[in-house]
A and B are shown apart, each in its own frame.
Chain A
Amino acid sequence: MSGANGFQVSGYGPERAGWTRVFARDSVARRLDWPILLSATALSLIGAVLVYSATRNRTELNQGDPYFFLVRHLLNTGIGIALMIATVWLGHRTLRTAVPLLYGASVFLILLVLTPLGSTVNGAHSWIQLGGGFSVQPSEFVKVTIILGMAMLLAARVDAGDKPYPDHRTVIQALALATVPMLIVMLMPDLGSVMVMVVIVLGVLLASGASNRWVFGLLGAGAVGAVAVWQLGILDEYQINRFAAFANPELDPAGVGYNTNQARIAIGSGGLTGSGLFHGSQTTGQFVPEQQTDFVFTVAGEELGFVGAGFIILLLGVVLWRACRIARETSDLYGTIVAAGIVAWFAFQAFENIGMTLGIMPVTGLPLPFVSYGGSSMFAVWIAVGLLQSITVQRPMSA
Chain B
Amino acid sequence: MTNIPETGRSPRVQIRLVVIQVLVLSLLGTLGGRLWYLQIREGEEYAEKASGNHVQQVVQPAVRGSILDARGVPLADNETRLVVSASRTDLMKMEDDGKAVLTKLAGVLGMRPQEVMEKVRLCDAETPQPCWNGSPYQPIPITDEATPKQALQIRERAEDFPGITAEPQAVRRYPSPGEANTAQVLGYLSPVTDEEIKQAQDSESPYLRSDQVGRSGLERQYDKQLRGKAGVTRYEVDNLGRVIGKAESDAAQPGSNLVTSIDARVQRVAEYELNEAMKAARKEYDRNTGTTYKADSGAVVVMEARTGRVVAMASNPTYDPNAWVGGISSADYKKLTGKNSNYPLLNRAIQGQAAPGSIFKVVSTAAAVEAGYDFDGSYQCSSAYSVGGQVFKNFESANYGAIDLGRALEVSCDTVYYRLAHQEWKKDGGTSPKGRPKDHFFKAAHRFGLGKETGIDLPNEVSGRVPDREWKQRYWEANKDAWCKTGKKDGSYVEKIAYENCVEGNKMRAGDEINYSIGQGDTLVTPIQMATIYAAISNGGTLYTPSIGKAIVSADGRKVSEIEPEAHGRLPISDATRDKMDAALAGVATRGTAAWRFGGWPQDEIPMHAKTGTAEVYGKQTTSWFATYTDDYAIVMTISQGGTGSGASGPAVRKIYDALYGVQEDGSIDRKKALLPEPAKSLPEIKPDGTIAAPKIAEDPVERERATGQDEEAPADGGQPQDDAATVATPAAENRQTRRRRRGAGRGGTTGTGAGARTGTRGRRRCA
Type the 1/0 row for B2-35, where 1 means its CB is closer than 8 Å to any CB of A: 1011111110111011111101110110111011
Interface residues of A in 169-213 (CB under 8 A from B): 203, 206-209
For the complex, give the distance between the alpha carbons of A93 and B8 in Å: 15
Residues of chain A contacted by B25 (CB below 8 angstroms): 317, 321
For the complex, give the distance between the alpha carbons of A228 and B27 in Å: 27
Query: What is the predominant secondary structure among interface residues of chain B facing chain A?
Result: helix
Residues of chain B contacted by A358 (CB below 8 angstroms): 31, 34-35, 38
For the complex, give the distance between the alpha carbons of A306 and B2 in Å: 45
Tell yes or no: A290 within 8 A of B by CB.
no
Residues of chain B contacted by A354 (CB below 8 angstroms): 31, 35
Tell yes or no: B159 within 8 A of A by CB.
no
Using known A-B contacts A265-B49, A285-B238, A328-B9, determine if residue A351 contacts B39 with beta carbons closer than 8 Å. no
Inter-subunit contact B53/A336 (CB<8 Å) = no
Using known A-B contacts A159-B4, A310-B35, A358-B38, determine if residue A266 contacts B24 with beta carbons closer than 8 Å. no
Residues of chain B contacted by A209 (CB below 8 angstroms): 10, 12-13, 16
Type the 1/0 row for A321-337, where 1 means its CB is closer than 8 Å to any CB of B: 10010011111111110
Most B CB atoms within 10 A — which of A271, A285, A332, A354? Answer: A285
Inter-subunit contact B4/A332 (CB<8 Å) = yes
Inter-subunit contact B51/A281 (CB<8 Å) = yes
Residues of chain A contacted by B40 (CB below 8 angstroms): 271-272, 306
Most B CB atoms within 10 A — which of A286, A330, A331? Answer: A331
Inter-subunit contact A324/B21 (CB<8 Å) = yes
Tell yes or no: B107 within 8 A of A by CB.
no
For the complex, give the distance between the alpha carbons of A165 and B12 in Å: 9
Tell yes or no: B698 within 8 A of A by CB.
no
Tell yes or no: A64 within 8 A of B by CB.
no
Tell yes or no: A301 within 8 A of B by CB.
yes
Q: How large is the interface on B (under 10, 10 to 19, 20 to 34, 35 or more residues)?
A: 35 or more
Using known A-B contacts A269-B49, A351-B31, determine if residue A285 contacts B13 with beta carbons closer than 8 Å. no
User: Least Cβ distance of B246 to chain A in Å?
Assistant: 13
For the complex, give the distance between the alpha carbons of A159 and B31 in Å: 37
Residues of chain B contacted by A14 (CB below 8 angstroms): none
Residues of chain B contacted by A221 (CB below 8 angstroms): none
- Chain B residue nearest to A271 (CB atoms) is B43
Inter-subunit contact A268/B238 (CB<8 Å) = no
Most A CB atoms within 10 A — which of B8, B19, B50? Answer: B8
Residues of chain A contacted by B13 (CB below 8 angstroms): 207-209, 333, 336
Tell yes or no: A54 within 8 A of B by CB.
no
Tell yes or no: B160 within 8 A of A by CB.
no
Residues of chain A contacted by B39 (CB below 8 angstroms): 267-268, 270-272, 301, 305-306, 309
Inter-subunit contact A266/B50 (CB<8 Å) = yes
Tell yes or no: A104 within 8 A of B by CB.
no
Tell yes or no: A133 within 8 A of B by CB.
no
Inter-subunit contact B46/A306 (CB<8 Å) = no
Stretch at the interface among A16-24, A106-114, A339-347: A339-347
For the complex, give the distance between the alpha carbons of A24 and B40 in Å: 47
Tell yes or no: A394 within 8 A of B by CB.
yes
Residues of chain B contacted by A165 (CB below 8 angstroms): 10, 12
Tell yes or no: A3 within 8 A of B by CB.
no
Using known A-B contacts A206-B19, A313-B35, determine if residue A347 contacts B50 with beta carbons closer than 8 Å. no
Tell yes or no: A116 within 8 A of B by CB.
no
- Chain A residue nearest to B47 (CB atoms) is A269
Tell yes or no: A316 within 8 A of B by CB.
yes
Which residue of B16, B45, B54 contacts A268 across the interface (Cβ within 8 Å)?
B45
Inter-subunit contact A285/B239 (CB<8 Å) = yes
- Chain A residue nearest to B32 (CB atoms) is A313
Q: How large is the interface on A (under 10, 10 to 19, 20 to 34, 35 or more residues)?
A: 35 or more
User: Least Cβ distance of B340 to chain A in Å?
Assistant: 52
User: Least Cβ distance of B16 to chain A in Å?
Assistant: 5
- Chain B residue nearest to A348 (CB atoms) is B27
- Chain A residue nearest to B11 (CB atoms) is A209
Tell yes or no: A143 within 8 A of B by CB.
no
Residues of chain A contacted by B14 (CB below 8 angstroms): 328
Tell yes or no: B714 within 8 A of A by CB.
no
Inter-subunit contact A331/B8 (CB<8 Å) = yes
For the complex, give the distance between the alpha carbons of A270 and B236 in Å: 17
Type the 1/0 row for A147-175, where 1 means its CB is closer than 8 Å to any CB of B: 00000000000111100110000000000
Residues of chain B contacted by A249 (CB below 8 angstroms): none
Interface residues of A in 81-136 (CB under 8 A from B): 93
Using known A-B contacts A164-B10, A347-B24, determine if residue A269 contacts B17 with beta carbons closer than 8 Å. no
Interface residues of A in 278-295 (CB under 8 A from B): 281-282, 284-287
Residues of chain B contacted by A269 (CB below 8 angstroms): 43, 46-47, 49-51
Which residue of A282, A355, A359 contacts B54 across the interface (Cβ within 8 Å)?
A282
Tell yes or no: B237 within 8 A of A by CB.
yes
Tell yes or no: B333 within 8 A of A by CB.
no
Tell yes or no: B244 within 8 A of A by CB.
yes
Inter-subunit contact B17/A331 (CB<8 Å) = no
Tell yes or no: B400 within 8 A of A by CB.
no
User: Least Cβ distance of B15 to chain A in Å?
Assistant: 10
Tell yes or no: A320 within 8 A of B by CB.
yes
Type the 1/0 row for B36-64, where 1 means its CB is closer than 8 Å to any CB of A: 10111011111101110111000000000
Using known A-B contacts A209-B13, A396-B1, determine if residue A267 contacts B237 with beta carbons closer than 8 Å. no
Tell yes or no: A360 within 8 A of B by CB.
yes
Residues of chain B contacted by A284 (CB below 8 angstroms): 236, 238, 244
Inter-subunit contact B1/A394 (CB<8 Å) = yes
User: Least Cβ distance of A328 to chain B in Å?
Assistant: 5
Residues of chain A contacted by B51 (CB below 8 angstroms): 269, 281
Type the 1/0 row for A241-267, where 1 means its CB is closer than 8 Å to any CB of B: 000000000000000000000101111
Most B CB atoms within 10 A — which of A160, A305, A332? Answer: A332
User: Least Cβ distance of A4 to chain B in Å?
Assistant: 31
User: Least Cβ distance of A368 to chain B in Å?
Assistant: 11
Residues of chain B contacted by A320 (CB below 8 angstroms): 24, 28
Inter-subunit contact B5/A331 (CB<8 Å) = yes
Interface residues of A in 379-399 (CB under 8 A from B): 394, 396
Residues of chain B contacted by A359 (CB below 8 angstroms): 34, 38
For the complex, give the distance between the alpha carbons of A207 and B10 in Å: 10
For the complex, give the distance between the alpha carbons of A207 and B15 in Å: 9
Type the 1/0 row for B232-248, where 1 means its CB is closer than 8 Å to any CB of A: 00001111100010000
Using known A-B contacts A285-B237, A336-B8, A396-B2, determine if residue A267 contacts B53 with beta carbons closer than 8 Å. no
- Chain A residue nearest to B34 (CB atoms) is A358
For the complex, give the distance between the alpha carbons of A396 and B1 in Å: 8
Residues of chain A contacted by B42 (CB below 8 angstroms): 268
User: Least Cβ distance of B124 to chain A in Å?
Assistant: 14
For the complex, give the distance between the alpha carbons of A8 and B6 in Å: 36
Residues of chain A contacted by B240 (CB below 8 angstroms): 286
Residues of chain B contacted by A344 (CB below 8 angstroms): 20
Inter-subunit contact B239/A343 (CB<8 Å) = no
Which residue of B27, B35, B236, B239 contacts A347 across the interface (Cβ within 8 Å)?
B27
Inter-subunit contact A264/B239 (CB<8 Å) = no
- Chain B residue nearest to A328 (CB atoms) is B17
User: Least Cβ distance of B24 to chain A in Å?
Assistant: 4
User: Least Cβ distance of B432 to chain A in Å?
Assistant: 71
Inter-subunit contact B8/A335 (CB<8 Å) = yes
Between A and B, 19 residue pairs with Cβ closer than 8 Å are A160-B4, A164-B7, A209-B13, A268-B39, A268-B45, A268-B47, A269-B51, A270-B43, A272-B40, A285-B239, A286-B239, A310-B32, A317-B28, A328-B17, A331-B4, A331-B6, A343-B20, A347-B28, A358-B38
Leading 3 A-B pairs by shortest Cβ distance: A268-B46, A269-B50, A285-B238
| Known interface pairs A324-B20, A360-B34; 7 further A-B residue pairs with C-beta atoms within 8 A, sorted by A's residue number | A161-B7, A267-B39, A271-B44, A329-B9, A333-B13, A336-B17, A355-B31
